[in-house]
Structure 1
Amino acid sequence: MNLLVIADPLDHFKIYKDTTFAMMREAARRGHQLTACEPRDIRWQSGQPVMATVRDITLTGDSANWYSASEPRAVALRDVDAVLMRKDPPFDAEFIYCTHLLSQAEREGARVINRPASLREHPEKLAVMEFPQFIGPTLVTRSADDVRAFHAEHQDIICKPLDGMGGMGIFRVKADGLNLGSIIETLNHHGAVTLMVQKFLPEIVEGDKRVLIIDGEPVPFCLARIPQGSEVRGNLAAGGKGVAQPLTDTDRATARAIGQVLAPRGLLLIGLDIIGTKVTEINVTSPTAFQEITQQTGCDVAALFIDALERRVAEPAPGAIRGLG
C-alpha cells in the first residue's frame, strides 16, 4: 500500500507520543510505502487532477533523526492507495479549503481518510450536539445575554471557543460569575464569534477520558487525562496526567452507539472526550492517545487502526469522474 500522510511538518513531531508517527511506524513495519506532505503542498489546476508535492519517507529508528526523505515529487492523489488526513486543528478556513480539494480528489478516485466532507460536517465541538442523549447541558451562541442566562440557570459553567485544541481558551465560571463579562468578550469578540458553553462537570477530577473508536468499534482502553493542581483542564497539552484504563460499560455503549452512526459517514477514526458519563467533544481531525494507551496497557492501537485502514483500502474504490489528466 502506498500511504500519503497529510500532516503538520514532520520535524515538529514529538515521536515519543505522536499518534501520526505511531500510524506511520506500524504501516512501515508491515511494508507499506510512506509519503508525506503538508496541506500547503496540495494544488488543483483546471483540467488536471488534484496533485500534491510529496516526499517519500523512510523511518530510520533513530529518535533524534527519525526519518529520511526523498527529493520532492508531484503525484496525483488518485494514484496513491490511501490519503490519511492528519492535519491538527485549528478548524479554520484553510482547513476547510483543504477538505474541498480532498473532496475533489475523492471524486477523481482517491480514498481519503477521514472523509473530507465528514471532516467539514463534524467540527469537533459542534458534533456533540447531534447526540443530546449523551451530553450535558450545552449552548452554542454568539449572544452574551444567552451565556448569562445559561450561567444563571447552571451556576458553574465552562466557556470555550469552537476552534480551539489542547485546552486552549477554556474558562470556568463559578456561581459568583467573576469575570464572566470579560470572558464572553474575549471569546465572542463582542458578538462576532460563536462560542460554546457547557455545564461544569465535577467528574473532571477523575479525568477527561479520550475514548477512541476505530471503524465504528471502541478501543478497549481509554486515556483519562487528569487535571493537576488547581488546573480545571485535563488536556495533556495543559499539563494533565494521562492514565490509561479499561472502558466502563457505559463508555463502551456510548462509543459504540456514536461510532455506528458516524463510521458509515467515512469517519474511520474518532476520539470521544467523556467526563463522567457525558460526551463533551467528538474529535475527528487528528485524534490522539495511541501511544499512551499502548505503552500503559499493551493494547496496540496503531495495529488496530492499520488493520482497519487495510480493510478500507481493499474495498472497491470510490467512483471517479472522467476527463481529468
Structure 2
Amino acid sequence: MRIGFFVNSIEAETATFTTTGLAFAAVVRGHDVCYVTPDDFVLRPDDRLFVKRRVPPSKRFRKAESLHSALQAEAEVEVVDVTELDVIFLRNDPSLDAADRPWAANVGAMFGRLAAERGVIVINDPGGLALAQNKLYFQDFPRAVRPETLISKSIEEIRDFVDAHSDGVILKPLQGSGGKHVFKIGTPEEANLNQIFEAVSGEGYLIAQSYLPAATQGDIRLFLMNGRPLEKEGVYAAMRRVPAKGEVRSNIHASGTAARVDITPQILEIAEMVRPKLIEDGMFLVGLDIVGDKILEINVFTPGGLGSMHELYKVDFAAAVIEAIERKITQRTVYDGRIGNSVLATL
C-alpha cells in the first residue's frame, strides 16, 4: 500500500503527533509512506493531477522518533501522478492556516476531491471535510448530545446568554482548534469580558456554550473509526484529559494530562447517536470530546492522542487504523469503482 499523509507543513510535524504514529505503523506493516503539504498539488493541462511528495528513506525504523527524524532530514522529494498513491490521509488542521495562509486552509478538501475522482481513496472524505471547516458543523448533530449553544458576534447576545446560565459559559472562536482562545465566563459583569470579547471576536463568530461542571474533572477523548468506537484487544481508544490546576482547557499541549478511563454504556450511547451523520459524511477517523452526557467537540481533521493511549494501555491503536485502511484497498478492488469515496471511507 502506498499512503500519503497530508499535513499543514513538514516542519511543524513532531515525533509525538498521531500522524507520525500512523505513518510509523504503516511502515512497520511494510507499506510505503510519504508526506504531502498544501503547496504540493499540480493540475496539468491534460487534466492529470500530480503531487510533490516527501518520501522517507527505505530502511527499517525501530521507533516513530527515527521515522520523524528521517522525514525532516533525509526525505527525497518526488513529483508523481496522484494515482501513484493508493490512499491520501487528510491530516491537516485548517485553522492553523486560516490567518497566515488562508488559501491553504481548504486545499486538502479541494484537491482531495480531485484525487478521489481519479481513484485514490481519500480519508476522511473531502466532501465531508468541506462541510466541517468550522465548529458550526457540530450543530448538525443531534441536539441531545450538544451543550446549549449560542453562535454570535454580538456582545449583547453573549451577555444575555451568560446571564441565563448560572454555572457559567465557555467562550471560544467558531473557527479554531487546540484550545486556543478558550475562556470561561462566570457572569455578564466580569470585568474582563469586554477584553475577552475583543480578543476572540477578531477571529470571527464566537461560540458560547453552557459550562458543564463535570468539566473540572476533564473531558474524555474517544476515537471512532468507521463510525464506531475504535477498539483493540478489548480496550477502547479513549483517555480522560485532565486540565492543569486553574486551567479551563484539557488539551494535552495546554498542560493537560492523560489518564485511563472506563467507557460506560452511556458513552457508547452518545457515540451511537452521532454515528449516522459521521457515516453519511464519510468520516473514517474522528475524535469525540465528551463531558458527562454531552459532546463538546467533534474533531474530524486531526484528532490526536493515539500515542498517549498507547502508553496508557500498551495497545497499538495506530496499527488497528492502518489495518482498517488495508481492508479498504481490498474493498475497492471488490467493488471495482462501483461505490463512491464517501461510502468507501467508512466501509
* Shift in alpha-carbon separation, 1:8–1:123, aligned structure 2, 3 A: closer
Shift in Å, 1:56: 1.9
Shift in Å, 1:134: 0.3
Q: 1:168 aligns with which of 155, 161, 180?
A: 180
Q: Is 2:72 the partner of 1:61?
A: no
Q: Aligned-pair RMSD on alpha carbons?
A: 2.2
Q: Name the residue aligned to 1:117.
A: 127
* Shift in alpha-carbon separation, 1:12–1:60, aligned structure 2, 3 A: farther
Shift in Å, 1:88: 2.6
Q: Is 2:194 the partner of 1:181?
A: yes
Shift in Å, 1:319: 6.9
TM-score, scaled relative to structure 1? 0.90
Asked if structure 2 preserves the Cα contact closer than 8 Å seen for 1:166 and 1:236, the reply is: no
Q: 5+ residue gaps in structure 2?
A: 231-235, 340-347
Q: Name the residue aligned to 1:52.
A: 51
Asked if structure 2 preserves the Cα contact closer than 8 Å seen for 1:77 and 1:83, the reply is: no
Q: Name the residue aligned to 2:322.
A: 306
Distance of 2:300 and 2:187 partners within structure 1: 33
Q: 1:133 aligns with which of 144, 160, 167?
A: 144
Q: Name the residue aligned to 2:224.
A: 213
Distance of 2:338 and 2:189 partners within structure 1: 55
Distance of 1:101 and 1:221 partners within structure 2: 30
Bigger shift: residues 110-119 or 66-75: 66-75
Bigger shift: residues 93-102 or 59-68: 59-68
- Cα deviation code 1:204-243 (max 9, x no counterpart): 1211211100111112241211111111111111111111
Distance of 1:183 and 1:95 partners within structure 2: 25
Which amino acid counterpart does residue 78 of structure 1 have in structure 2?
T
Asked if structure 2 preserves the Cα contact closer than 8 Å seen for 1:157 and 1:200, the reply is: yes
Q: Greater relative contact order (Cα 8 A, min sep 6): structure 1 or 2? A: 1
Asked if structure 2 preserves the Cα contact closer than 8 Å seen for 1:124 and 1:282, the reply is: no
Q: Is 2:320 the partner of 1:292?
A: no
Aligned length: 317
Asked if structure 1 preserves the Cα contact closer than 8 Å seen for 2:224 and 2:286, the reply is: yes
TM-score, scaled relative to structure 2? 0.85
Q: Is 2:93 the partner of 1:84?
A: no
Distance of 1:279 and 1:29 partners within structure 2: 34
Distance of 1:311 and 1:237 partners within structure 2: 33
Asked if structure 2 preserves the Cα contact closer than 8 Å seen for 1:167 and 1:235, the reply is: yes
Q: Name the residue aligned to 1:104.
A: 114
Distance of 2:200 and 2:54 partners within structure 1: 39
Q: 1:201 aligns with which of 212, 217, 241?
A: 212
Q: Is 2:248 the partner of 1:232?
A: yes
Asked if structure 2 preserves the Cα contact closer than 8 Å seen for 1:126 and 1:162, the reply is: yes
Indicate the SS of the match to 2:271. helix
Distance of 2:110 and 2:249 partners within structure 1: 33
- Cα deviation code 1:108-131 (max 9, x no counterpart): 222111111111112352232122
Identity of aligned residues (%): 26
* Shift in alpha-carbon separation, 1:122–1:238, aligned structure 2, 3 A: same
